[in-house]
Structure 1
Amino acid sequence: MSSEDLSALGAASTAEEITHQPAVWRLLAQDLQERADTVRAFLEPLLSRADLRIVLTGAGTSAYAGQVLAPGLSRTLSRRVDAVPTTDIVSHPQQIFAEDVPTLLVSFARSGDSPESLAAVQFAESQLSDVHHLVLTCNPDGALARQRPERSLVLVMPEGTNDRGFAMTSSFTSMLLACRIVLGGNTGRMEHAARAAEQVLSVMSGPDGLAAQLAAREFERVVYLGSGALTGLARESALKLTELTAGAVPTWAESALGFRHGPKAVLTGSTLALVYLSNDPYTRLYDEDIVTELRTQLGSSQVLVIGASAPRDATGLTLVPDGLGAVDDAVLAAVFVVAAQELALRFSLAHGIGSDNPFPGGQVNRVVQGVTLHPLPA
């Protein structure tokens, strides 16, 4: 679709921000290489401390970035890594920071202006005697970047990641990949991810792409499933569809094993299911089991499987980008979410909803509003 057509439909910014992600990731890899010495000088002394706790925090989509990253980083760094939303920190900081241990607070913030982002930093400072801050943001002019606390490093994502559209797309993947690289290493993963995302876009995007074909089938609800790090991806995928369709399409997100324990009740004859396959060989066994079960219940044409290699039940819709066999699940998530973003865009178009601003009445806002920050009791 032309940019003029997308503009007329209120979707030009969202469409552009989805499709330019591979290019943005390549710029990000260059930026991180140029800042490698600064990053190393900040992080190495911290990561050498065996008692360091790492807390990954953000709200909404930014919180899901932490959920995607925490399992793999905990294993890579051999230390405690917790994903805790800023909304949880703000509502009960004394419980979240009950242990006064050396802490690295990693804040994900597209704008850096949400009240919870700022308050989470302030609560960490007030509750902990030894805290450092790594701020990943897409807005150099946001309050979080400007009002940087002591003992902090601010990494601003490349230009174009501070999404103009309502939903977080390139901001999410850029901050996720940046954190994976600075804490877990290997900027070479970025090129693998960029090439694979280009393949995903070639299959999913456009008026005749797979996303548009699925949207045209008018599914009444959509389910996203993934295990471990990919459970966070499933939640982010469901949120994208909810946001861009203004809630017109009910969604559900769960782990592959957890889905059978009640949530499976959401399935109807008009449900589309997306299953993300882990690259961990053991975890993947459970992902493949749910694929077989869903394809038996719903039919092969209603279950889309996305993985680095084809599932054992390859009879239905399957998307397998090349070159991802050796990457961890956090990198897979950055690539796979592009398919979910494109699907959400096409569902919003099919419902006549402008994805750049699905809530013209202001019921939900790009930067959260209406939050009252209450002082802690004495």
Structure 2
Amino acid sequence: MVASHTYDEIISQPDALKQTLQMVKEQRFHEKDPDLTVFSGCGTSYYLAVSAARFFQEVTGKPALAVPASEVILHPEQVFAKGLKYQLVIISRSGTTSEAVAACKTIAGRKEIGVMAVTCHAGSALARLAAESIVLDHIKEKSVVMTQSFTNMLYALQLYSAKTSQNDRIWNELTRLPEQMDQVIGQLPQIRELAENLQYRRFIFLGSGVLTGIAREATLKLKEMTQTECESYSTLEFRHGPISIVDDRTAVILFTSEKTKELDAPLMEEIRSFGGHAVAVGHCADQVSADTALVIETDLSGSCQAILLLPHFQMLAYCRAVKLGLNPDQPRNLNQVVKISIGE
């Protein structure tokens, strides 16, 4: 492998997860009982919010949704209804993303909305504006693209969901995740052949439930690092029009699970019948009629497995960028932090 910050940040995720676990284990959180918890961010952090909101609602039994931070700024009345109490969980690696900071300022002074920041930088503007924060200051990415930060901020929010709802079963499962990530990192060379096959000009990522956000983030990673044509869809929605783009230059990567495998298999068969290369990633990937099955060996249940799927598509994007002669650490037109002028 070509030496790069991105590569190092992908393969070192098990140790980072162990530190995140210890940090959340020791942190005490404010007691709160909102009518709705809103997870928000921009770009990768928004897709993280999508998965975190689905996980939070499943684990706690309390309503949650995800919105882009820009929606909080532009349409707060469509995000926050009158007469309800909210918890806004705002996510930003740097803690300085313009829309994330502006979202906090937009709702400042509204006593019915509590704010928690999730960031990798202590003392950042976002951390200062929030009533409480999860700060993962052991995550210090040098690459422009978010890999290890996405994994760890999502993991922190999963732990937060289990801890604050006193869901001991889920908490105990999540504590085993860093050790199992070691095994996943060892499997990553399997993705290289697919990544380097330039016959495939189009990549589609499919997932449902918590994996919806994972599929969106997989699309963004590949698009950022390689500028490859790629899209993401909720799994069964793919049949409703988008499947028309499948041909022999299309690779469709489906994040599968025990809960969805019976419906995933016929879709994989359809994709193959149209000439597409069907790839499945997950614990039961070898049970859904895929051309390529990347099986994740794990005893974790359901949504707790989601984070174990992340390194595969991160490495897919890295390997393809290297094959194309691109710099995965510094994709074109991008910077680590997006800052724009937003009127006060």
TM-score (norm: length of structure 1): 0.84
Q: What residue in structure 2 maps to residue 199 of structure 1? A: 183
Q: Percent identity?
A: 28
Which is worse superposed, 78-87 or 194-203? 194-203
Q: What residue in structure 2 maps to residue 9 of structure 1? A: none
Q: What residue in structure 1 maps to residue 55 of structure 2? A: 72
Distance 1:88 1:315, change over 3 A: closer
Q: Is 1:287 the counterpart of 2:264 in the alignment?
A: yes
Secondary structure in 2 matching 1:98: coil
* In 2, Cα distance between equivalents of 1:235 and 1:338: 14
Q: What residue in structure 1 maps to residue 280 of structure 2? A: 305
Distance 1:373 1:315, change over 3 A: closer
Q: Is 1:17 the counterpart of 2:1 in the alignment?
A: no
Amino acid at match of 1:321: I
* In 1, Cα distance between equivalents of 2:137 and 2:274: 44
Distance 1:199 1:295, change over 3 A: farther
- Matches for 1:1-378 after TM superposition, within 5 Å: 1=1, 5-6=2-3, 12-35=4-27, 38-39=28-29, 42=30, 45-46=31-32, 49=33, 52-126=35-109, 128-145=110-127, 147-149=128-130, 152-159=131-138, 161-185=139-163, 186-204=170-188, 209-218=189-198, 219-245=200-226, 247=227, 249-279=228-258, 281=259, 283-298=260-275, 302-314=277-289, 316-324=291-299, 326-329=300-303, 331-359=304-332, 363-369=333-339, 371-375=340-344
Secondary structure in 1 matching 2:251: strand
Residue by residue over 1:1-49, the C-alpha shift from the partner in whole angstroms, topping out at 9 and shown as x without a partner, is: 3xxx42xxxxx110011111111101111112222xx22xx1xx31xx3
> Residues 288 and 311 of structure 1 are in contact (CA less than 8 Å); yes or no, is this contact kept in structure 2?
no
Which is worse superposed, 290-299 or 84-93? 290-299
Secondary structure in 2 matching 1:374: coil
Secondary structure in 2 matching 1:188: helix
Give 1:104 deviation, angstroms: 0.9
Distance 1:315 1:94, change over 3 A: closer
Structure 1 gap segments, 5+ residues each: 7-11
Amino acid at match of 1:239: L
Distance 1:353 1:84, change over 3 A: same
> Residues 63 and 84 of structure 1 are in contact (CA less than 8 Å); yes or no, is this contact kept in structure 2?
yes
Amino acid at match of 1:115: S
> Residues 278 and 290 of structure 2 are in contact (CA less than 8 Å); yes or no, is this contact kept in structure 1?
no
TM-score (norm: length of structure 2): 0.91
Amino acid at match of 1:137: T
* In 1, Cα distance between equivalents of 2:216 and 2:290: 26
* In 1, Cα distance between equivalents of 2:108 and 2:263: 41
Amino acid at match of 2:301: V
> Residues 167 and 240 of structure 1 are in contact (CA less than 8 Å); yes or no, is this contact kept in structure 2?
yes
* In 1, Cα distance between equivalents of 2:337 and 2:263: 37
Structure 2 gap segments, 5+ residues each: 164-169
> Residues 117 and 134 of structure 2 are in contact (CA less than 8 Å); yes or no, is this contact kept in structure 1?
yes
Count residues in correspondence. Answer: 337
> Residues 41 and 92 of structure 2 are in contact (CA less than 8 Å); yes or no, is this contact kept in structure 1?
yes
Secondary structure in 1 matching 2:142: coil
* In 2, Cα distance between equivalents of 1:266 and 1:355: 27
* In 2, Cα distance between equivalents of 1:104 and 1:256: 29
* In 1, Cα distance between equivalents of 2:64 and 2:295: 30
* In 2, Cα distance between equivalents of 1:226 and 1:93: 29
Q: CA RMSD in A?
A: 1.9
